[in-house]
Amino acid sequence: MTQILSGLVVAETRRAKLVEKVQSFISKSNRPPGLAVVLVGADPASQVYVRNKIKACEHVGIVSTHHRLPDTISQDELHTVIDTLNADSAVDGILVQLPLPKGLSETLATERILPSKDPDGLTSGNLGLLFAGRTRVAPCTPLGVMKIFEHYKIEVEGKSAVVVGRSNIVGKPMAQLLLEANATVTVAHSKTFDLKSVTSQADIVVVAAGRPQFMGKEFFKSGSIIADVGIHRLPDGAAGGGPNGKSKLCGDVLTSELMNHAQAITPVPGGVGPMTIQMLLENTLRLAELRA
């Protein structure tokens, strides 16, 4: 029987503890931790993400401020907003919601955030610390995967782990976190010859390729642990799509084929996704504590 690694359950468990930690921070520091969320333009998906993040902050006692900027804003004007937040002592974390509208550089905007106020862990300062083994905060999604493994007591040390994908947001930091946990790590990507032969040897596979349901049973050895980071909307009519014109979420892995084959797997939805927001909140508190 394949075990379902529920990120919803892990996030909920950790959220209850986080509420206490935030309260303890408030009594020691006489102020709540603060997260500033910057949204440029009106991308509907980004609006939903931002709303969810603000709601999650409220739930645990982190004060969030929302900075809505028009998509006509220039790079310099965006930097001025970030600089103001960098200098604001009530702000512990700054999140610039990606993607940015065309014409704005995400790299420049991200790098403008002080690493000490970067709860996503995506500035080169924070990624550098992670790869040097002196982590300040690790990127939220891969950190969330590690916390799921920790919660379900999935042993990582000594195991062979393959990460599919090498983005700065997920793949590379994921590989580093697994390495730190003493796994033997391989990183696969779009230029990997014969992906199947690589992943089917692994004890642990983390998939973050951004391709809907492209990995079925033949990619995994029996008894493997799978973390599916991908998230996609399947339209009605597509295999696995929702009925009555409703879209349905799926990951990069064809989960239905893995039941009774994998030892454990994260579902989509309800797997890695909820952990990403939880890690954002935990990283914000960590930055607030470091600043205090």
Catalytic residues: 53, 97, 120
Q: Provide the H-helix boundaries in the chain.
A: 7-29, 44-60, 75-87, 106-112, 124-131, 140-151, 171-180, 195-199, 272-291
Does the protein bind ligand NDP through residue 68 (CB under 6 A)? Answer: no
Does the protein bind ligand NDP through residue 188 (CB under 6 A)? Answer: yes
Is the CB of 81 or the CB of 169 nearer to ligand NDP?
169
* Nearby residues of 5 by Cβ (< 8 Å), 6 or more positions away: 148, 149, 152, 154, 227, 264, 265, 266, 267, 271
Considering only 32, 121, 171, 173, the residue that binds ligand NDP (CB under 6 A) is 171
Does the protein bind ligand NDP through residue 86 (CB under 6 A)? Answer: no
Does the protein bind ligand NDP through residue 200 (CB under 6 A)? Answer: no
Residues 217-246 contacting ligand NDP, CB under 6 A: 229-231
Does the protein bind ligand NDP through residue 208 (CB under 6 A)? Answer: yes
* Nearby residues of 282 by Cβ (< 8 Å), 6 or more positions away: 14, 18
Other Cβ atoms within 10 Å of 212 Cβ, number: 20
Considering only 141, 199, 255, 284, the residue that binds ligand NDP (CB under 6 A) is 141
> Token pair of 179, please?
């390495």
Terminal C-alpha separation, the chain: 47
Does the protein bind ligand NDP through residue 57 (CB under 6 A)? Answer: no
Q: Least distance to ligand NDP from the beta carbon of 97, Å?
A: 13
Q: Least distance to ligand NDP from the beta carbon of 163, Å?
A: 9
Does the protein bind ligand NDP through residue 199 (CB under 6 A)? Answer: no
